[in-house]
Chain A
Amino acid sequence: MIGRGFARTVAGDLLRHWKHFAAASVGIILGVAALIFFLGLGLRVRDLLLVQVFPSEYLEVAPRSVDLDIFALRVDLGRDTLDSAALEELSAIPGVDAVYPKMRLIVPALASGGTSLFGAGMQTEIVADGIDPRLVTEDVGEAFHEVGGDPESPARPCRRDGDCSEGSYCDRPAGVCKPYIPVLVSPYVVELYNGAFRRAYGLPKINPDALRGLSFEMAFGASTFRPSESTVIRERMRLVGVSDKAIPLGVTLPLGHVRSLNAALGSPEAGERYHSAVLGVGAKEMLPAVVEAVEAAGLEVRDRGARRAALVTAVMMAVLGLVGVALITVAAAHIMHVFFLVVMVRRREIGLLRAVGARRGDIRNLLLAEAAVVGLVSGLVGSLAALTAAVVADGFAASRVPDFPFKPESFFAFPPWLFLSVIALAVGAAVVGALPSALRAAAGDPSDALAGR
């Protein structure tokens, strides 16, 4: 039996027994709704944690620290830097798409400025590190780049900033134009400032976008804690963006510039020693294997939060998914019961269909098609219920839940594959539930069915 006749027969049977099928579909609707709702919630939370809070496509690794605490002091017994050989070893790990070395500034630094933003100049000790500009190209474009002067071209003489081109300032003591050093700050700095710092000092809340273009001076090698023992290099910085790959507290400079500063103010070797490296791991599913290889190489993954977040969300999704699957499984058992009843009620009808030429497969397919339609309709209704519940939950969160860092507009992510796979699961559960009854109905002799045996 194929074609329109088959479809009409299925539709007619469903309409005739709609009360039975409606009762059978309740469990599947609940299961589908729960599964989509919780998986949608889990996917969004996972995205928030892994992409925004702990960007896990990048894994920061550093030498494993071996510390010994002696009274108030902690003595570091392990190595604390990576050389070029270690970087090559990291780049050879399967799943690692790129290796971006990071280097800390190993000399003290003072930052001063901010009059345009705060109304008065500020000076503070500041820590800095350097990263490969390619690491943040996606975040801030080409604005964050290495700064290198052309040794052949003579520096332009100047007396004030206006004498220099865009992107440069006038180094008055030297009387020549110098390029601004592009710097990045972390969103944590902005969050910390807007959340606590500004309240303590009565300062205005700032828009992260307005920070771009802010310039300030840094004195490398200078400190308020102790007098400078070496040369102090003064340079002007320009904030070019906010990136979660920047140092959490401090400023991030182009790697080459930090390398030059460390070599000039520390030692030539200091310019060759990296303190950590960021691994680009394109495929998130490779993350566990990469972590394992990193640890086998005697290094440690620095952002353990990402690992914990990934684990927690994975466990959460698994548990919530299991709840939904359990509901659907119970629903399948219910479907089995309902189809057993339906087949009993339709026993003579099925016998008649066999008597006029229906094959066993026709009867089996007819009942399974009816089950599939029940599963499909239940899946669609369940999906709609999940979406409705998500909209209600988002509305509640928007109006009743206080703002917090990284609070999303929606707590749910519903990719198309989620609906397709859950609806397919619902159809599968309904078909599996109906299968024993369908096989039984198709198996007997028509004479038994017609006689009601």
Chain B
Amino acid sequence: MIQLENVCRRYAGADTEVLRNLDLQVGRREFVSIVGRSGSGKTTLLNLIGGLDRAYEGLVQVEGRRLDELDDSELSAYRNLRVGQVFQAYHLLDHLTCRENVALAALFARGRERRDAAWARRRADEVLAGVGLPDAGGRAPSTLSGGERQRVAIARALFHRPAILLCDEPTGNLDTETGREVVELLLDLHLEEEVTIVAVTHDTAISAAGGRVLHLVDGRLEERGGAAG
């Protein structure tokens, strides 16, 4: 489902490549955890898979399509419909309600039905209920706890029922108990919604939950085994 071959990524002004001839294969409905120290390129890797970063060399192919061959419109549609992204810093817009944050992708959807405001509202409430926040739709993100905000961010990523969920340190800003709840939520989604999940983390709870654990070392991935998902 996700295939990276010989991928290199160097940031402007950096001496070394953050990703060096990296290879990765992720199958459908797989849960892959990627661990590595800070600055090892975990977020960069997710950005490449999520179509947020195109300044790379090598092959990044998702669902049989090379991302570097997609034009802006196709890549935007990919980000809108096929992949959901959960960011470590949540990136919720405080001037919108939680419902509006979750339904943000509907603004850029291509189908007539998906642009329908009533449909978007129903779907946002449905997804919020799915992450355990059935009453948060009308609330501002700033009134929520860290764990709740991360759940809203996950709900936003799930809005268009993506095939792939990319999570960047989803428990990084949370306490242990709240982090555990978020990990359980991701596992439930993986099992119930059959979503392919790629999570980068420091959190051993996530890496322990993931079916496969990959270590990002010196710009390359090394597989060292992990608990079954």
Interface set of A (CB-CB < 8 Å, partner B): 1-6, 9, 12, 16, 348-349, 351-362, 445-448, 450
Task: Tell me which of B72, B77, B91 contacts A348 (CB under 8 A).
Answer: B91
With contact pairs A4-B117, A5-B115, A5-B117 given, residues A357 and B91 touching in the complex (Cβ less than 8 Å): no
Task: Tell me which of B72, B76, B79, B91 contacts A450 (CB under 8 A).
Answer: B91
Show 13 A/B contacts (Cβ-Cβ < 8 Å), sorted by A: A2-B115, A5-B115, A16-B95, A351-B91, A352-B93, A354-B76, A355-B79, A356-B80, A356-B156, A359-B108, A362-B108, A445-B52, A446-B52
Q: Are B106 and A5 in contact, with the CB atoms below 8 A?
A: yes
Task: Tell me which of B55, B72, B117 contacts A359 (CB under 8 A).
Answer: B72
Q: Are B93 and A357 in contact, with the CB atoms below 8 A?
A: no
Q: List the 3 closest A-B pairs by CB distance, nearest first.
A: A357-B80, A357-B108, A447-B53
Q: Are A12 and B95 in contact, with the CB atoms below 8 A?
A: yes
Q: Are B77 and A357 in contact, with the CB atoms below 8 A?
A: yes
Q: Across the interface, which residues of B come within 8 angstroms of A16, CB to CB?
A: 95
Give CA–CA (A389, B79) in the complex, Å: 53
Interface residues of B in 62-115 (CB under 8 A from A): 72-73, 76-77, 79-81, 85, 87, 91, 93, 95-96, 104-109, 115
B54 within 8 A of A: yes
With contact pairs A352-B93, A355-B85 given, residues A1 and B108 touching in the complex (Cβ less than 8 Å): yes
Write the nearest CB–CB distance from A359 to chain B, whole angstroms. 4
Give CA–CA (A114, B107) in the complex, Å: 84
Q: Are B91 and A354 in contact, with the CB atoms below 8 A?
A: no
Q: Across the interface, which residues of B come within 8 angstroms of A354, CB to CB?
A: 52, 76, 79
Q: Secondary structure at chain A's binding surface: helix, strand, loop or mixed?
A: helix
Give CA–CA (A1, B73) in the complex, Å: 12
Q: How large is the interface on B (under 10, 10 to 19, 20 to 34, 35 or more residues)?
A: 20 to 34
B137 within 8 A of A: no
Task: Tell me which of A3, A12, A356, A360 contacts B79 (CB under 8 A).
Answer: A356
Interface set of B (CB-CB < 8 Å, partner A): 44, 47, 50, 52-55, 72-73, 76-77, 79-81, 85, 87, 91, 93, 95-96, 104-109, 115, 117, 156
Q: Are B93 and A450 in contact, with the CB atoms below 8 A?
A: no
Write the nearest CB–CB distance from A435 to chain B, whole angstroms. 18
Report which residue of B72, B77, B108, B117 has the largest number of chain A beta carbons within 10 angstroms of its beta carbon: B108
Give CA–CA (A447, B108) in the complex, Å: 18
Q: Across the interface, which residues of B come within 8 angstroms of A357, CB to CB?
A: 76-77, 79-81, 105, 108-109
Q: Are A355 and B117 in contact, with the CB atoms below 8 A?
A: no
Q: Across the interface, which residues of A come within 8 angstroms of B50, CB to CB?
A: 355
With contact pairs A352-B93, A450-B91 given, residues A358 and B108 touching in the complex (Cβ less than 8 Å): yes
Give CA–CA (A5, B72) in the complex, Å: 21
Write the nearest CB–CB distance from B49 to chain A, whole angstroms. 11
Q: Are B95 and A445 in contact, with the CB atoms below 8 A?
A: no
Give CA–CA (A355, B43) in the complex, Å: 14
Give CA–CA (A6, B107) in the complex, Å: 7
Query: Considering only CB atoms, which chain A residue lies closest to B53 in the complex?
Result: A447
With contact pairs A356-B104, A356-B108, A356-B156 given, residues A445 and B79 touching in the complex (Cβ less than 8 Å): no
Query: Considering only CB atoms, which chain A residue lies closest to B76 in the complex?
Result: A359
Write the nearest CB–CB distance from B8 to chain A, whole angstroms. 16
Write the nearest CB–CB distance from B169 to chain A, whole angstroms. 13
Q: Across the interface, which residues of A come within 8 angstroms of B55, CB to CB?
A: 445
Q: Across the interface, which residues of A come within 8 angstroms of B79, CB to CB?
A: 354-357, 446
